Amino acid sequence: MSRAIGILGGMGPAATVDLMGRIIAATPAQGDAGHLHLLVDSNPAVPDRNRAIAGEGPSPGPALAAMARGLEAQGAEMLAIACNSAHAWAGEIRAAASVPLVSMIDATVEAIRRDHPGARTIGLLAADACLGAGLYQGPLAQAGFEVLLSEDQPGFMALVYGVKGGETGAAARAGMAAQAEALAARGAELIVAACTEVPLLLGPEESPVPLVDSTAALVAKLVHLAAD
């Protein structure tokens, strides 16, 4: 028997569908009954995380807490968020539900330490809210890594919001590849896709150095835990 996973999604919708699709692809199933039970609340009305961190908009905490309570009431036995930045409100989510929240941040840092032990300098592609909350900078620094951030954060954010609006064509992909190339040129030995929109534009084959994808890291951990 597998445990039901409750997904707090809609931030953005395409990233939520990507997470679901990857969970399905990563599950060793011979038919319908072999797949994991996914309970998904894809709520695009969650207040903007970037505006909230900047003090320019309402907190998404109450909406995220309500989603967590609803998913638990429907039978979720663990929770996951299809958004890195929303982890800034993980405390409110955990306070609202009695089932565990599987952290995308923790899963990604674990993957970096496990799979890239020789890397020391990391290029971090993350949204404003994720950076403002220090979700990755702190854990990575504690693990002994040097972290490089984009020197064109407005350009990066334009690409992220573009994905939310359906822009995933050649120009957008080239723009995200350029972000990765700029970090590699400054010495990044590893690129971390610390925003769930990034892998919708940038794959391992388009990254100039190894790419650690936060969505992939979360999927691996969820599939392992749900089948445990």
Q: What is the pLDDT of residues 156-209, one digit of tens each?
A: 999 999 999 999 999 999 999 999 999 999 999 999 999 999 999 999 999 999
pLDDT digits 0-9 by tens, 128-153:
999 999 999 999 999 999 999 999 99
Residue 29 has pLDDT above 80, yes or no: yes
Residues 161 and 59 in one domain: no
147: domain range? 104-214
Residues 223 and 165 in one domain: no
Residues 120 and 89 in one domain: no
How does DSSP assign the chain, residue by residue?
----EEEEE-SSHHHHHHHHHHHHHHS--SSGGGS--EEEEE-TTSPPHHHHHTTSS--SHHHHHHHHHHHHHTT-SEEEES-SGGGGGHHHHHHH-SSPB--HHHHHHHHHHHH-TT--EEEEE--HHHHHTTTTHHHHHHTT-EEEE-S-HHHHHHHHHHHHTT--SHHHHHHHHHHHHHHHHTT-SEEEE-STTGGGT--GGG-SS-EEEHHHHHHHHHHHHHH-
Residues 112 and 210 in one domain: yes
Distance CA 183, CA 148 (A): 7
Residues 27 and 95 in one domain: yes
Q: Please state the domain count of the chain.
A: 2
Residue with the larger pLDDT of the pair 178 and 29? 178
Average pLDDT (5-25) is: 98
130 catalytic residue (yes or no): no
Q: What is the CATH number of the domain that holds 163?
A: 3.40.50.1860
Average pLDDT (37-41) is: 97
Which of 31-35, 74-78, 120-124 shows the lowest mean pLDDT across its residues?
31-35
- pLDDT value at residue 77: 97
Residues 12 and 97 in one domain: yes
Q: Which of 195, 202, 211, 217 is catalytic?
A: 195
Residue 1 has pLDDT above 60, yes or no: no
- pLDDT value at residue 227: 83
pLDDT digits 0-9 by tens, 43-101:
999 999 999 999 999 999 999 999 999 999 999 999 999 999 999 999 999 999 999 99
Q: Which of 36, 40, 78, 83 is catalytic?
A: 83
Residues 135 and 223 in one domain: no
Residues 117 and 158 in one domain: yes
Residues 33 and 121 in one domain: no
Residues 135 and 209 in one domain: yes
Residues 53 and 151 in one domain: no
Residues 111 and 149 in one domain: yes
